[in-house]
Structure 1
Amino acid sequence: MDFVKEFAIFLQESGAIKFGNFRLSSGKDSVYYIDLRLVPSFPHQFREMVKAVQNLISEKIGLDSFDYIASVPTSGLVISSALAMETVKPLIYIRQKIKDYGTGSLIEGKIPEGSRVVLVDDVGTTGHSLLGAIKALKDAKIVVDSAFVIVNRLEGARENLEAEKVKLYEITDILTISNILHTENILDEQTLGRIKKQVDSSKIK
């Protein structure tokens, strides 16, 4: 069984993906919810997921094409920390907002200007949190042209990042996951249809 199929079934069995009616942090309504913060509670699957990210980065841009791994708290940072250990690459992370104590840094970690980073997060929706990180990195004169996520929700992240000249890659996306679960008789036709409709409607906007 390939990783994506195994991972899709694991997400459903572990409760990391749920179907129904949910309100997202962005305020948008969704017919499904993905919570990859559950994955580190399953060490074997977590390690497989991190390895899948490493393999994807190696395949798409090569591990020698960047100097640092960058991420955003919190779920993406957990994944990136494990990835940094696997690849022996230095890690930085970008806060959502400047802290009002200590040094007041937006970028945490030591990184010189001109360094090349690859950005890693858990889920890509509209790309809002990634865009904030990209701006902070560029403002600090750090080079970023690639971002990687585990799951792409297909709601504009790729297009929004491309506008900033950053290419988005993913291990899988919500349609692939949903189709696998439908083929395995885990997800019914009606729910699959609702997910496809949500993806299609986000493309129009």
Structure 2
Amino acid sequence: MEFIKEFSTFLMQKEIIKFGDFTLASGKKSSYYVDLRLVPSYPHQFRTMVKKLQNNIAEDIGLDSFDSLVSVPTGGLIIASALAIEIIKPLIYVRSKPKDYGTTKSIEGQIHKGMRVVMIDDVATTGGSVVNAIKSLKDANITIEDAYVIVNRMEGADEALKELGVKLHSLANVMQITHALHEQKFIEDDILEKVRKQIEV
């Protein structure tokens, strides 16, 4: 829990998480916005986050249980690239749609039938982009059973991935972050309640 407390404080102080009224990419309304694309601008915290990810994967499933990391552009790909260098594992990524020139493929990188991969992304909301990527991987006979995100917004991604036989892991979920900020008096009771209601919808 020490990581969550320190990470939450960092997110708040650097305005990586903001509370208010926001419209997400999906068009959905939200009482908060978290933009992890800002984290690489702070190398020490970025490396701490990547090392935490490495440790969690090592403890949960073991670093030898998979052949390659996989991600989706762009937010998750930066994190996955840093992690791939740390653990010396290959990295592939899945485009949201196949490119319309050259090889016209949707999966970039060296792949082979039956390879085992672990998905890395930054934030999970409904799981949409990751779900599409997992389907592309399964179509290519690539085995995927685990996905790791930094922040789980707890708005359906767990269930969506479970239906595809993939377990979603996160370094922190939005309630843990919000509680940590509330305990440290960064946010008021009403904000905590708004976030809780948003998750329950």
> Same fold judged by TM-score > 0.5?
yes
Structure 1 counterpart of 2:75 = 75
How far 1:8 sits from its partner (Å)? 0.3
Structure 1, unmatched stretches of 5+, are none
How far 1:111 sits from its partner (Å)? 1.1
1:18 matched to 2:7? The reply is no
How far 1:28 sits from its partner (Å)? 0.4
How far 1:178 sits from its partner (Å)? 0.2
Q: What TM-score, normalized to structure 1?
A: 0.97
Structure 2 counterpart of 1:166 = 166
- Runs of 4 or more above 3 Å deviation: none
Q: What TM-score, normalized to structure 2?
A: 0.99
Structure 2 counterpart of 1:28 = 28
Residue by residue, what CA displacement relative to the aligned partner does 1:14-50 show, whole Å, maximum 9, x if unpaired? 1110000000001100000000000000000000000
- SS of match in other structure, 1:133: helix
Give the partner amino acid of 1:191.
I
d(CA) in 1 for partners of 2:101 and 2:52? 37
Structure 2 counterpart of 1:91 = 91
Structure 2, unmatched stretches of 5+, are none
d(CA) in 1 for partners of 2:130 and 2:54? 19
Structure 2 counterpart of 1:116 = 116
Residue by residue, what CA displacement relative to the aligned partner does 1:104-160 show, whole Å, maximum 9, x if unpaired? 110000111110000000001111011011000000010001000000000010011
Identity %: 56
d(CA) in 2 for partners of 1:40 and 1:136? 28
Q: How does 1:1-205 map to 2 (within 5 A)?
A: 2-201=2-201
d(CA) in 2 for partners of 1:27 and 1:57? 32
- SS of match in other structure, 1:47: helix
Residue by residue, what CA displacement relative to the aligned partner does 1:45-82 show, whole Å, maximum 9, x if unpaired? 00000001111111111101100000000010000000
For the aligned residue pairs, the C-alpha RMSD in angstroms reads: 0.8
